[in-house]
Structure 1
Amino acid sequence: MTIHVSPEAHPALVLNADFRPLSYYPLSIWSWQDAIKAVFLDRVNIVSEYDFMVRSPTFVMRLPSVVSLKAYVKPSRTPAFTRFNVFLRDRFQCQYCGSREDLTFDHLIPRSKGGATTWENVLTACSPCNLRKGNKSTDEIGMHPFQMPYRPSVHDLHNNGRMFPPNFLHESWLDYLYWDTELEP
C-alpha cells in the first residue's frame, strides 16, 4: 500500500515545531496552496523550498517544500480506534493468510459469542478468511492469527507507517524523515 503523491503538485512536508513530521502515515503533507496560505497567516516557517516559483502581479515566491509549525502541536498519546489504524497496526495484511487484498476486519471472539469491538479483539482479515472463520472461534476452526490483536501506541503506528512511504519523497524531505535509520559509511 502506498500513498500517491504527485511531484508535479509540489506538496510541502509539514513538521511540528520540534521538526518531526506530524504523522508518518499518512505522511504529513500539504498542497502548495495550503502551505502558502499558512506562510501568509504566519503559522509556519519555511524550512526548505522547491526551485519552482509562483507569481502574482505584486510578488514572486518559491514554493515551500518543507515547513515547520510555529506552535507545537502535542501529539495524541493514544491512537483512535479506527478501521484505518487497525489496518496500519496489522501492516495492511490479513492476520490469517498474509494477503493484502480485499481487507476487512474480524472479531477474534465473534460478536455473537460476546466478543467486543476493541483493539484487543479486532484484527485485519481478508474477506475469504473472514468468511471461512465466520462466527467460530479460532480454536474451533483451526485458524490462528500471525499476531494477536493489541492496543498499539502512537509509536507502534508511526513505526508501521514508515514501512509504507509515499511514491514520491522530495530530496529536501529526507533530512526530516527516517532520522532513526542506520547511516551508510
Structure 2
Amino acid sequence: MTVHVPLPASPEACPALVLNADYRPLSYYPLSLWGWQDAIKAVFLDRVNIISYYDTLVRSPSFEMRLPSVVSLKTYVKPSRQPAFTRFNVFLRDRFTCQYCGNREDLTFDHLIPRSKGGQTTWDNVVTACSCCNLRKSDFLPREIGMLPAAMPYQPSVHDLHQNGRHFPPNYLHESWMDYLYWDTELEP
C-alpha cells in the first residue's frame, strides 16, 4: 500500500480521519473523512478527541493550532443495521465488477428476473452488470440465455459493505491513519 504525504501541505490537503468512539472508522467506502474546518469546529465544540496531528498549522491573530489528522468521536454512533438499497451499495456489494463477465467499466445494474417478467428492484434480484452484458441479457432469465451471475444477489449487512470497501482504499492515505485502518486484516509473514 502506498502512502502519499504532500509537502508542504495546505489545510485543504489535510483531511481528518474520523473514528467512532470505539476507534473504528465510521465507514470504509467512502472513507470517513472531514475537511480541516469541520475537524477544528468539532474540536472546539468538544465533540472529538484528537488522536494524531499533521505538521501543518493554521493560525489566526490570536490562535495557532496543528491540524488534526485523526479524531475520534466522544459519543458512540451506532451503525445502521441495514444499508440503504442504492446503486452505489449494489456496486459495492458486487465489488464494482460485472457479475456476468468480470468487467469493471461502464457499470449499471441488471434484474435477474426482468421487470417485464415480474422481477422486483430488490437486493435479491439486482446484480452489477456492464452495459454490454446488460444489453446481451436483455429481458431473458439467466438460465434461458446461459448468463449466470458469478455470485447470486443478496441483501448485504453494513459489515459486508465495510469489508468490501476495504478493497478500494482512497488515493490518499496519511501515515497517521494506518494504525486505525485495516487493523484487523491478516498480516503478511
Report TM bin, short chain.
over 0.9
Distance 2:44 2:111 in 1: 48
**Could you tell me whether the CA contact under 8 Å between 2:29 and 2:166 is conserved in 1?**
yes
AA of the residue aligned to 2:144: E
Partner of 1:78: 82
Structure 1 segments unaligned to the other structure (5+ residues): none
Deviation, 1:40, is 1.1
Cα distance in 2, alignment partners of residues 88 and 162 from structure 1: 10
Residue of 147, 154, 175 corresponding to 2:151: 147
Q: 2:103 matched to which residue of 1?
A: 99
Paired positions, count: 181
Instruction: After TM superposition, give the deviation of residue 181 of structure 1 in Å.
Output: 1.7
Structure 2 gaps of 5+ residues are: none
- 4+ aligned runs moved over 3 Å, structure 1: 5-8
RMSD over aligned Cα atoms = 1.4
2:16 corresponds to which of 12, 16, 19 = 12
The 1:99/1:6 distance shift into structure 2, 3 A limit, reads farther
What is the Cα deviation at residue 92 of structure 1? 0.1
Aligned partner of residue 58 in structure 2, secondary structure: strand
TM-score, structure 1 normalization: 0.94
TM-score by length of 2: 0.92
Measure how far apart 1:6 and its partner are: 9.0
Which residues of 2 match residues 20-59 of structure 1 at below 5 A?
Answer: 20-59=24-63
| Cα separation, 2, equivalents of 1:71 and 1:157 | 23
- Aligned-pair CA distance for 1:184: 4.8
SS at match of 1:131: helix
